[in-house]
Copies of this chain bind each other. A is one copy, B any other.
Amino acid sequence: MPAYQRIAAEYRNKIASGALRPGDRLPTEQEVAHAYTVARQTVRQGLATLVAEGLIVAQRPHGYFVRQREHMVYRPQAESRPQPASPEMDRYFQQISSEGRKPSQTIEISLVPASPEIAQRLDVPEGQTVVARRRVRSINGEPVNTNDTHFPLDAVKDSDIMSPEDIPQGTNQRLAELGFAQVRAIDEFFIRMPTPEEVHRLDLAAGTPVALHIVTGYTAEGRPVRCTLNVLPGDRHVIVYEREWE
């Protein structure tokens, strides 16, 4: 086995076994190089492996540190099924609930040409102008996820959905008041590495994959009236659904 893989394996095992705990610092590159009698570049290759696996993070000039994941519960069903139905679910939320955090968000409204993904799901021609309501949601000032909702222009024009302010009752409720109540939605999840733009917008560490959650909402007539793209960093979320047999 190559030297860099042996180095990666050593620290991977130490992290898995708990010998190194989240927040702990690793030895410096030079110290590892001496310990293994290899060049510094070889050490860097080994540690880069663990960075790509999301196990450690380099914080210059402090050193390498073991990462931690904190999973906020992300529950797509919340908007269509406000109360959890089962006692198991209540228990789940009790265990993983968050306390004493300060949520905040930024909102931008823009008119944009529909990308292929949006156009297909909203059933409009590619490039047609749609309304985009882009949000970054944060907790304690740190970005947690993004939420970019797209509406057909004719559905929401002249409404307050187009103003870049919080809509307390929610855009779904406002959309319903405009005559476009949603009765059905399709959720899709794509798992991939983030784009550089997403890395910047969400301040992602290397080795952090994301889930792209696409929601398409339909009226009773079967018309799609909303397409939301949520970007969920893997180190900050657990996605939860509740299901019953029919």
Among A86-94, A126-134, A149-157, the one that faces the other chain is A86-94
Q: Does A111 contact B (CB under 8 A)?
A: no
| Residues in B neighbouring A188, C-beta threshold 8 A | 238-240
**CB < 8 Å: which of B183, B216, B222, B241 contacts A87?**
B222
Cβ-defined contact, A207 with B193, below 8 A: yes
Q: In the complex, how many residues of chain A place their beta carbon closer than 8 angstroms to a beta carbon of chain B?
A: 53
| Residues in B neighbouring A207, C-beta threshold 8 A | 52, 193
Most chain B beta carbons < 10 A, residue from A53, A77, A89, A237: A53
Chain A positions 26 through 56: 1 when the CB is less than 8 Å from some CB of chain B, otherwise 0: 0000000000000000000000100011100
Cβ-defined contact, B185 with A243, below 8 A: yes
**CB < 8 Å: which of B183, B193, B241 contacts A187?**
B241
Q: Does A124 contact B (CB under 8 A)?
A: no
Cβ-defined contact, A192 with B54, below 8 A: yes
Cβ-defined contact, B206 with A240, below 8 A: no
What residue of chain B has the Cβ atom nearest to residue A9's Cβ?
Answer: B196
| Residues in B neighbouring A235, C-beta threshold 8 A | 192
Q: Using a CB-CB cutoff of 8 Å, which residues 81-107 of chain A contact chain B?
A: 81, 85-89, 92
C-alpha spacing A216/B91, complex, angstroms: 13
| Residues in B neighbouring A233, C-beta threshold 8 A | 191
What residue of chain B has the Cβ atom nearest to residue A183's Cβ?
Answer: B245
| Residues in B neighbouring A186, C-beta threshold 8 A | 86, 88-89, 92, 240-243
Cβ-defined contact, B246 with A81, below 8 A: yes
Cβ-defined contact, A222 with B88, below 8 A: yes
Most chain B beta carbons < 10 A, residue from A89, A207, A245: A245
**CB < 8 Å: which of B54, B76, B89, B183 contacts A241?**
B76
What are 6 sample pairs from A and B whose C-beta atoms fall under 8 A apart?
A48-B48, A80-B245, A185-B242, A187-B241, A190-B238, A191-B237
A: which residues have CB within 8 A of B?
Answer: 12, 48, 52-54, 69, 71, 76-77, 80-81, 85-89, 92, 182-193, 196, 206-207, 209-211, 216, 218, 222, 224, 232-235, 237-246
